[in-house]
């Protein structure tokens, strides 16, 4: 897909929230949805199971209006985290301009995080995308949980962030770190414009 | 281009408090006596604290005090825009004149000078000019001059040279006063304590205060109830709030006040938006700006910028800087080509192809074509130096005329026509003049036989290159044509020569021609050519006298490596010959005989050969030419140079000699 179209003067960014099941990807989107003025957001599409697990994917279009003469749109997607929905994940990942990896800060979820990260890498590769070239940020969610249950962002950086991408501690339920993360990924995605190669 | 002064922004409506008293006093002083007190006056403050208001108030007050004053208010952006527009229109000077005639110049938001070097120097120039003329300048900014990033040192000192005052955040009392005045302006009435409550809120600037007042006015209008101090807090969200209540408060506050930015949660999105805007601005617009600048620049220089404009149409910037650099390189190449072509053929340099980098290859071709055409026309033969031209009474007139022409080429005898029979040295003298002329600076001497001139024209017509052929001769600083009578019947060549003649003569370029007889006796030449030839000096070369003959013989014999025996020279010089060429012919026969007999070269032998029986063998040992050209004898017998001896037509012979 074309990220920046100078002919129609449009910028469209597709950002995919990726991560293990129950790490808080949809929560991120819900929080953002709640903060975006009505006029700026489209309908949030959420296909969830009865137990509120994402079945297919969530989709939240945000219209940022005219920026420097470009009508700018962000499309936020989440993938289903559960392992057996890999085909869907791969589908959603197609054409992504940037990826937010939402990790679960709980110590016992570390393996799931790693597994999901590897899954991201291989799924990107299926689309011919090198994980080292696509804009990527990490979010360590659930930092509000008791300290004894979770790993600190620094520890998580050590464990997960071997590519030294921007990382953010977050409490998506209450919104802490959600917009910081979005800003982080937006910046990376948009900066890629300057580099001149459309994602 | 320039904003009008907003009538609402006067000193009367400006609420003065402790934080802005100094600025207002300075403003009033300046308005009363522009250019006399503080010049320039530089006012800075945070956003929404009344800079623009004060600036316009100065304008109003000055206008009121002296209605004839020329007062100009504009924001820096407008100034920049105006500048760019006039530069684009090629009216840069008009722009400067326009502002130099202003009595009071009010410039708003000069902090935007950051990264605008050209505007900085423009403003510096303007400030200096206005100050020198005693005109007033008032500037505002959101920070003091030294804190404006990348501001030229000279401009900083210039701007700081007058008075720099700041305006702070209004104190509580001022805030109340402002609110009262604004409420009054709007015809809104509030219960006691309401405005005071609003004023208690921590606001960073007056604009926020106005926003709060607007919300109250709207709320009262919508609900048709007057509000008290308590509801004010709710409406404005001044009550202590937690994250959970924020969305509710947001909703309520947003309902009455359309203009309100919203509090709490909305800010996160707002911040995000601001962030994205900055990033997009940096990423997208920066490159667009670079391309735009490049387009503006090259367009201004008269180059076609399709290629750059096309960049803007592309989906992604790609290697924009490379593209711009490549474009600049092409333009440089075009410039070089154009300069080169202009030197050779000014008319060709005007071609649009030299202004379009898209068509660089065409430009190269065009330049190459011009360069071909620029190959200098045939020059004089080096075999005929003036030094070897034998001078005697018989050709004295012609030689002096030649020397006079050489002294002041194009001015003394123009044209110079050398006439005389065949074999008297016309060609030699013509080429000698040509050689002397080539010594001049930047001299381009065209020296050739008329036959070659005709042949070149025919080839040019054939190759559809008549234009460059003309250009080639038009550049000549001198034109020397041998055997002009060959033009007989060549109408087109006569036509071309006529035009060329006029053009060169107009430019005082030397023209020299040779002909076998006086021009007016030549048949087949157009009258206009003949009259022009006669218009200069017609100098005749006569049959060689004894001096000339002796000189020629001595030279030839010396060249032959033989010691010229005086008796031989005398004998030969006394022989009746009507031209140098026949003299040379005599000498050839003697030399041939000497070679055949393997005997010495002497007067006796010469007498025997020329008066007695002719020697059996007439093989020529070496080829002497009337002109003195020595032709190698080894195997040369088969060459054309040898064969031309037998040619009947003298003129043809001359051509073949030097081509």
Q: Which is it for strands A70-78 and B537-541: parallel, antiparallel or unpaired?
A: unpaired
C-alpha closest to that of A75 among A15, A34, A135: A15
Q: Which of A152-166, B115-129, B452-466 ranks highest by mean pLDDT? A: A152-166
Q: What tokens were used for B159?
A: 């701007």
Partner residue opposite A183 with nearest CB, options B243, B272, B313: B272
Could you tell me which residues come within 8 angstroms of residue B167 by beta carbon, excluding any fewer than 6 positions away? B19, B20, B23, B43, B44, B45, B49, B50, B51, B54
The structure tokens 């506050």 sit at B253
Say what the pLDDT of residue A197 is: 44
Query: Which structure tokens are listed for B466?
Result: 């008549």
ipTM of the complex: 0.84
Is the separation of the CB atoms in B536 and B413 below 8 Å? yes
Facing B243 at nearest CB: one of A2, A40, A174: A174
The Cα–Cα gap between B562 and B584 comes to 15
pLDDT tens track for B207-229: 778 878 877 777 776 666 677 77
Query: How high does pLDDT run on average in chain B?
Result: 78
Contact residues, chain B, for A174 at CB < 8 Å: 243
B40, B138 contact by CB (below 8 A) = yes
A60 touches chain B (CB under 8 A): no
Cβ–Cβ of A187/B277 closer than 8 Å? Answer: no
C-beta of residue B232 within 8 angstroms of C-beta of residue B198: yes
Tokens encoding B479: 């034109």
* CA B384 – CA B425 distance, rounded (Å): 10
- Given a cut of 80, whether residue B260 has pLDDT beyond it is no
pLDDT at A104: 94
Identify the pLDDT of residue A176: 92
Among B149-163, B284-298, B395-409, where is mean pLDDT lowest?
A: B284-298
The single-letter DSSP state of residue B477 is S
Query: Would you state the pLDDT for residue B316?
Result: 59
φ/ψ of B112, rounded to 5, equals -75, 10
Whether the link from the prior residue into B311 is cis, omega within 30° of 0, is: no
Contacts with A171 from chain B: Cβ below 8 Å: none
When comparing pLDDT for B609 and B436, which is higher?
Answer: B436
pLDDT for B1 = 42
Q: Which two tokens stand for residue B138?
A: 């008032």
Find the helix packing angle between B450-462 and B466-474, rounded to 10°: 140
* Alpha carbon of B236: minimum distance to chain A alpha carbons (Å): 19
Residue with tokens 């940020």: A137
Both tokens assigned to B504: 């060169």
For the segment B231-253, the average pLDDT, to the nearest whole number, is 50
Q: How many residues does chain B have?
A: 659
**A166: chain B residues, CB-CB within 8 Å:** none
**pLDDT for B649:** 57
Domains and CATH numbers, chain B: 21-167 (3.40.50.300), 172-263 (1.10.8.60), 285-373 (no CATH), 386-541 (3.40.50.300), 546-658 (no CATH)
d(CA A112, CA A184): 24
| CB neighbour burial string for A122-152, b if at least 16 within 10 angstroms, e if fewer | ebbeeeebebeebbbbbbbbbbeeeeeebbe
Q: Does B320 touch chain A (CB under 8 A)?
A: yes
- Comparing C-alpha atoms, which of B657, B553, B540 is closest to residue B603? B553
Contact A179 B271 (CB under 8 A): yes
3-state secondary structure chain A: CCCEECCCCEEEEEEEEECCCCCCHHHHHHHHHHHCCHHHECCCEEEECCCCCEEEEEEEEEEEEEECCEEEEEEEEECCCCHHHHHHHHHHHCCCCEEEEEEECEHHHHHHHHHHHHHHHHHHHHCCCCCCCCCEEEEEECCCCCCCCECCHHHHHHHHCCCCCCEEECECCCCECHHHHHHHHHHHHHHHHHHCCCC
Render B340-391 in DSSP notation, one character per residue. Answer: HHHHH-HHHHT-GGGG-GGGHHHHHHHHHHHHHHTSPPP---TT--GGG---
Which pLDDT does position B39 carry in this prediction?
A: 86
Residue A64 near chain B (CB below 8 Å): yes
How much is the CA Rg of chain A, to the nearest whole Å?
A: 16
Do A175 and B243 lie within an 8 Å CB cutoff?
Answer: yes
User: What pLDDT shows up at residue A65?
Assistant: 78
pLDDT band at B643 (very low <50, low <70, confident <90, very high): very low
The answer to whether residue B610 scores a pLDDT higher than 50 is yes
8 Å CB contact between B144 and B106: no
CB A121 within 8 A of CB A152: no
Tell me phi and psi for residue B21, to 5 degrees: -60, -45
Lowest mean pLDDT among B237-251, B271-285, B369-383, B415-429: B237-251
N-to-C CA span, chain B: 71
Query: What is the rounded distance in angstroms from the CA atom of residue A135 to the CA atom of residue B570?
Result: 106
At B108, phi and psi to the nearest 5? -100, 150
* Closest-CA residue to B487 (of B435, B523, B458): B523
Burial B333-342 (b: 16+ CB within 10 A, else e): bbeebbeebe
Per DSSP, B529 falls in state H
Local structure of residue B22 (DSSP, 8 states) = H
pLDDT on residue A199: 36
Is A193 an 8 Å CB contact of chain B?
yes
Whether residue B305 is predicted with pLDDT greater than 60 in this model: the reply is yes
Residue among B163, B81, B162 at smallest CA distance from B122: B81
Strand B478-482 vs strand B623-624: parallel, antiparallel, or unpaired? unpaired
**Nearest one of B34, B39, B42 to B64, comparing CA atoms:** B34
- B623 pLDDT exceeds 70? no
Task: Give ∠ CA B348-B353-B358 in degrees, rounded to 5.
Answer: 160
Provide the pairing of β-strand B630-631 with B623-624.
antiparallel
Mutate to test the interface with A, among B283, B314, B319, B322 (most CBs of A within 10 A): B283
Taking phi over 0 as left and psi of -120 to 50 as alpha, with beta for the rest, B329 belongs to alpha
Tens of each residue's pLDDT in chain A, 199 residues: 446 666 677 788 899 999 998 899 989 998 998 888 888 887 777 766 656 666 667 888 888 877 766 788 888 999 888 777 888 888 888 889 999 999 999 999 999 999 999 999 999 999 999 999 999 999 999 999 999 999 999 999 999 998 899 999 999 999 999 999 999 998 888 877 655 544 3
CB count within 10 Å of CB B44 equals: 22
On whether any CB of chain A is under 8 Å from the CB of B318, the answer is: yes
**Cβ of residue B283 closer than 8 Å to a chain A Cβ:** yes
Q: How far is residue A90's CA from residue B625's CA, in Å, rounded to a whole number?
A: 97
What are the Cα distances from residue B30, in Å, to A193, B109, B139, B577?
49, 19, 12, 105
Three-state SS at B510: strand
* Cα dist from B289 to A65, B197, B285, B385, whole Å: 21, 47, 6, 66
Residue A166: other Cβ atoms inside 10 A: 17
CA separation for the pair B79, B204 (Å, rounded): 29
Nearest to A64 by CA among A27, A37, A29: A37
SS3 call for B104: strand
pLDDT band (50, 70, 90) for residue B582: confident
Query: In chain A, how many domains are there?
Result: 1
Per-residue pLDDT at B343: 67
Q: Give percent of chain B above pLDDT 90.
A: 5
* pLDDT digits 0-9 by tens, B411-424: 878 888 888 888 88
A6–B285 CB contact, under 8 Å = no
Chain B partners within 8 Å of A172 (Cβ): none
- Of B24-28, B238-242, B557-561, minimum mean pLDDT range: B238-242
Average pLDDT value for residue range B226-248: 58
What is d(CA B245, CA B224) in angstroms, rounded to the nearest whole number? 26
CB pair distance less than 8 Å for B315 and A194: no
Q: What CATH number did the domain enclosing A47 receive?
A: 3.40.50.300
User: Residue A38: its pLDDT value, please?
Assistant: 82
**pLDDT in the model for residue A157:** 93
Give the C-alpha separation, A67 to A40, whole Å.
13
Is the Cβ pair B313, A7 closer than 8 Å?
yes
CA distance B535 to B402: 16
User: Which of B272, B282, B287 minimises the CB distance to A179?
Assistant: B272
pLDDT at B352: 77
Mutation choice for A interface testing from B284, B312, B324 by most A CBs within 10 A: B284
Nearest-CB residue to B316 (from A64, A179, A198):
A198
Average pLDDT over residues B560-589: 82
Give the whole-number percent of chain B exceeding pLDDT 70.
83
Structure tokens, B418: 């050398």
CB–CB contact A175 B277 (8 Å): no
CB-based contact, B312 to chain A, within 8 Å: yes
What span, in angstroms and rounded, lies between the C-alpha atoms of B117 and A192?
A: 28
Q: Count CB atoms within 10 A of the CB of residue B388.
A: 15
The label of the residue with tokens 């003049």 reads B433
Per-residue pLDDT, averaged over B611-627, amounts to: 50
**A72/B contact by beta carbon, under 8 A:** yes
Helix (H) or strand (E) holding B153: helix B153-160
Host domain of residue A152: 4-195
pLDDT of A178 reads: 94
| Nearest alpha-carbon partner for B110 in B168, B48, B42, B166 | B42
Q: What's the CA gap between B26 and B29, in Å, rounded?
A: 5
Q: What per-residue confidence (pLDDT) applies to B230?
A: 74
- Higher-confidence position of B240 and A126: A126
Residue B448 has pLDDT above 80, yes or no: yes
Supply the pTM of this predicted model. Answer: 0.38
């Amino acid at each position: 897909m074309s990220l920046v179209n100078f002919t129609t003067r449009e910028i469209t960014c597709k950002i995919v929230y990726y991560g293990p099941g129950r790490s808080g990807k949809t929560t991120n989107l819900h929080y953002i949805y709640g903060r975006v003025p009505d006029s700026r957001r489209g309908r949030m599409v959420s296909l969830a199971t009865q137990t509120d697990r994402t079945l297919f994917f969530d989709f939240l279009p945000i219209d940022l209006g005219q920026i420097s003469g470009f009508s700018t749109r962000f499309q936020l997607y989440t993938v289903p985290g559960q392992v057996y929905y890999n085909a869907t994940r791969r589908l959603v990942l197609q054409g992504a301009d940037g990826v937010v990896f939402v990790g679960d800060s709980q110590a016992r979820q570390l393996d799931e995080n790693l597994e999901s990260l590897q899954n991201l890498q291989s799924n990107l590769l299926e689309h011919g995308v090198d994980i080292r070239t696509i804009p990527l940020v990490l979010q360590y969610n659930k930092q509000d949980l008791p300290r004894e249950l979770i790993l600190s962002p620094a520890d998580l950086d050590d464990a997960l962030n071997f590519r030294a991408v921007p990382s953010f501690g977050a409490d998506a339920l209450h919104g802490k770190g959600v917009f910081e993360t979005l800003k982080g990924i937006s910046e990376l995605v948009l900066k890629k414009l300057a580099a001149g190669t459309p994602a | 281009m320039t904003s009008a002064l907003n009538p609402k922004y006067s000193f009367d409506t400006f609420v003065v408090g402790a934080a802005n008293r100094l600025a207002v006093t300075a403003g009033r002083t300046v308005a009363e006596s522009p250019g006399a007190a503080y010049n320039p006056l530089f006012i800075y403050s945070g956003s929404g604290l009344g800079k623009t208001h004060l600036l316009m108030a100065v304008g109003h007050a000055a206008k009121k005090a002296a209605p004839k004053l020329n007062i100009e208010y504009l924001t820096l952006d407008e100034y920049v825009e105006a500048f760019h527009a006039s530069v684009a229109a090629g009216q840069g000077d008009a722009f400067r004149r326009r502002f130099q005639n202003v009595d009071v110049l009010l410039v708003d938001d000069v902090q935007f000078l950051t990264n605008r070097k050209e505007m900085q120097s423009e403003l510096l120039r303007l400030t200096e000019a206005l100050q020198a003329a005693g005109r007033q300048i008032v500037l505002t900014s959101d920070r003091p001059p030294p804190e404006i990033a990348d501001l030229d040192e000279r401009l900083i000192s210039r701007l700081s040279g007058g008075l720099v005052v700041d305006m702070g955040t209004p104190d509580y009392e001022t805030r109340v006063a402002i609110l009262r005045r604004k409420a009054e302006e709007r015809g809104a009435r509030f219960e006691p304590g309401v405005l005071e409550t609003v004023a208690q809120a921590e606001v960073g600037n007056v604009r926020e205060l106005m926003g709060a007042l607007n919300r109250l006015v709207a709320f009262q209008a919508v609900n048709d109830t007057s509000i008290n101090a308590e509801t004010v807090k709710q409406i404005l969200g001044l009550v202590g709030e937690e994250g959970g209540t924020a969305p509710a408060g947001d909703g309520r506050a947003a309902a009455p006040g359309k203009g309100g930015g919203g509090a709490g949660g909305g800010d996160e999105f707002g911040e995000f938006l601001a962030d994205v805007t900055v990033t997009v601005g940096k990423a997208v617009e920066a490159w667009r700006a670079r391309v735009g600048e490049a387009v503006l620049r090259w367009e201004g220089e008269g180059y076609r910028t399709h290629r750059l404009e096309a960049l803007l149409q592309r989906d992604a910037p790609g290697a924009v800087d490379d593209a711009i650099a490549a474009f600049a390189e092409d333009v440089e190449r075009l410039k070089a080509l154009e300069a080169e072509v202009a030197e050779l053929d000014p008319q060709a340099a005007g071609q649009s192809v030299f202004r379009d980098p898209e068509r660089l290859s065409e430009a190269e071709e065009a330049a190459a074509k011009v360069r071909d055409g620029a190959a200098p026309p045939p020059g004089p033969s080096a075999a005929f130096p003036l030094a070897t031209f034998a001078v005697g009474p018989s050709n004295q007139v012609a030689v002096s005329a030649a020397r006079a022409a050489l002294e002041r080429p194009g001015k003394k005898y123009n044209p110079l026509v050398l006439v005389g029979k065949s074999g008297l040295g016309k060609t030699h003298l013509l080429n000698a003049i040509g050689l002397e002329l080539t010594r001049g600076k930047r001299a381009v001497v065209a020296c050739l036989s008329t036959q070659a001139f005709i042949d070149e024209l025919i080839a040019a017509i054939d190759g559809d290159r008549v234009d460059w052929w003309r250009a080639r001769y038009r550049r000549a600083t001198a034109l020397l044509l041998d055997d002009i009578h060959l033009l007989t019947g060549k109408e087109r060549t006569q036509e071309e020569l006529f035009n060329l003649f006029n053009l060169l003569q107009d430019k005082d370029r030397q023209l020299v021609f040779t002909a076998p007889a006086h021009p007016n006796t030549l048949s087949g030449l157009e009258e206009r050519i003949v009259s022009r030839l006669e218009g200069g000096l017609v100098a005749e070369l006569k049959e060689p006298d004894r001096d000339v003959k002796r000189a020629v013989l001595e030279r030839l014999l010396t060249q032959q490596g033989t010691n010229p025996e005086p008796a031989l020279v005398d004998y030969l010089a006394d022989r009746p010959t009507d031209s140098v060429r026949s003299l040379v012919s005599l000498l050839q026969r003697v030399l041939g005989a000497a070679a055949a007999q393997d005997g010495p070269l002497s007067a006796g032998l010469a007498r025997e050969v020329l008066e007695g029986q002719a020697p059996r063998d007439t093989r020529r040992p070496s080829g002497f030419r009337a002109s003195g050209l020595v032709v190698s004898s080894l195997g040369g017998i088969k060459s054309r140079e040898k064969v031309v001896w037998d040619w009947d037509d003298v003129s043809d012979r001359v051509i073949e000699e030097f081509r």
